[in-house]
Amino acid sequence: MGWGAPLSSRTLGIREGFQLRLLSGTESEDVVERICTRMFFSDFVVRNPEYRKPKGKKIELADIIVPFGNNLLAFQVKSKFQPTKATEKSEIDFQRITDSINEAVNQTKTINRALRNNWLRRMKTSKGLEIDIDPTKIEAVIGIVVLDLVGEELLSREEQTQLFSSFTIRHGLPIHVFLAHEFYEISSELDTLPDFLRFLDVIQSLYTQDLFIFPPSVLDLLAFYKMDPDKIDRVISDEIRIHIEDGFWEAYHRDHADAIAERDRLNEPSYLIDGIIDYLHTSVGYEALPKDHELAKISGQGSIDGYLTLAREIASLSRLERRSLGERLMRCLQDSMKKAQAFSILYVKERRLGYLVLAKSGDRTERQVFLHRLTAMAYCYLGLDKTIGIATEPISGEGRSYDVLGFSGVEFENSNELAEAAKSFFGEPYSVGGSEYSQSSIPDA
């Protein structure tokens, strides 16, 4: 597959001051790690995972891995000094670019071998916590190659190199190849793991079903996807071949700047939920309840596994879902200024999930007990498969702390009593509604 071609791509200065300088591979990895940490949180990002061979030699498995539920993203990062315009590059220049990509693509096979041999067990995240990776639970390994063509960020869009294709299957793995500036732009539009994985799945479907008349740049495809995701679904389900014209990405930002700005404003409450996810690591080793309290015995408080389980559950929400939950939390914080407590439920119907948020003043132990009861009532009342409860102080409180707990596969002896009691606490739960551009829709692509 011809990865490099003298086409075009979008310019981006990700290096401070747009200074032209040769980056080492390690510095390019630093940039990608920062992007991954922003998108996926340092809870789930592992840098330079290694295993030790029987004779003691250490082997690096990838530059970065992101284990999340039954998915594992494996990143290989390459950098090459390429300040020459694409139209002035020689065949040797393009061959060197192609060779770098192929080298990175071939390195992804190490991850499959590591899983088969159980080498990926105890890994240390960017937060410094050790996590256990169970290979039997990994259902999908996705390879991602990020190529940093150092120097091209100083060139205009028309003068930069563009990859002919952004997807291939090698060693039985789906592998996505992005230029560094493309990955940066993608991370700005798809800044949650569920949203990112969804887009990767769309890319794979379009390529494997041969639905492109001519492969577009990944950013033009992203613009088409953002402008009308339902149309992309129809294209895939009905196997309609499409052609996406060059320049869709620029048109998306130019013609819909007001809608994008409004989208960003609407998303502001969602970052409250990001903050909670990032806060949860402080629970490791912390015991809010007395050890002899009955809830302390069953909550797993203070454990790494308990923290990671809850962090994954909340991080499994898309940006739109986090926006809805953040809006419910903001409403509770505002209502708690007038009364001692306020709570609300967000219902993700298609996954039978419930997220309960509570703002309550007073003793923290009492808050935790009340959160446990409310979450249990919601779980039984709505017949949910899984429920997460989140509690914090009122908006007028000094400082900010969070208590989080969850139920899944639990059978309460008093489930009927809890469901009946819930009727006096809850009305109809709120559901995730609307779309990303719910107040200023972008026209169909």
Please give the pLDDT value at position 69: 85
Average pLDDT over residues 62-86: 90
Q: Is the pLDDT of residue 421 over 50?
A: yes
Please give the pLDDT value at position 24: 53
Task: Grade residue 295 by pLDDT with cuts at 50, 70 and 90.
Answer: very low
Task: Grade residue 25 by pLDDT with cuts at 50, 70 and 90.
Answer: low
Task: Return the beta strands (E) in 331-442 as ranges.
Answer: 341-348, 353-360, 386-392, 402-408, 430-431
Task: Grade residue 7 by pLDDT with cuts at 50, 70 and 90.
Answer: very low
CATH of 4-255, one of 3.20.20, 3.40.91, 2.40.50, 3.40.1000: 3.40.91
Task: Grade residue 423 by pLDDT with cuts at 50, 70 and 90.
Answer: very high
Please give the pLDDT value at position 116: 84
Q: Which residues of 244-279 are buried (b: 16+ CB within 10 A; e: fewer)?
A: beeebbeebeeebeebbeebeebbebbebbbebbbe
Please give the pLDDT value at position 336: 87
> 174 φ, ψ to 5°?
-75, 130
The model's pLDDT over 351-393, given as tens digits with 9 standing for 90+, comes to 899 999 999 988 888 999 999 999 999 999 999 999 999 999 9
Angle at 290 between CA 284 and CA 293, to 5 degrees: 110
Domain boundaries, the chain: 4-255, 264-431
Which residues are paired to 79 by β-bridges? 148
The model's pLDDT over 202-232, given as tens digits with 9 standing for 90+, comes to 999 999 999 999 999 999 999 999 988 889 9
Please give the pLDDT value at position 251: 93
Please give the pLDDT value at position 443: 39
> 80 φ, ψ to 5°?
-140, 140
Distance CA 277, CA 319 (A): 13
4 versus 146: which is more confidently predicted?
146
Please give the pLDDT value at position 15: 34
Most confident of 9-18, 116-125, 432-441: 116-125
Task: Grade residue 283 by pLDDT with cuts at 50, 70 and 90.
Answer: low
Please give the pLDDT value at position 291: 52
Under 8 Å between Cβ of 346 and 323: no
Supply 380's token pair.
Answer: 């039984």
Which residues lie below 8 Å from residue 139, measured CB to CB, with a gap of 6+?
Answer: 70, 71
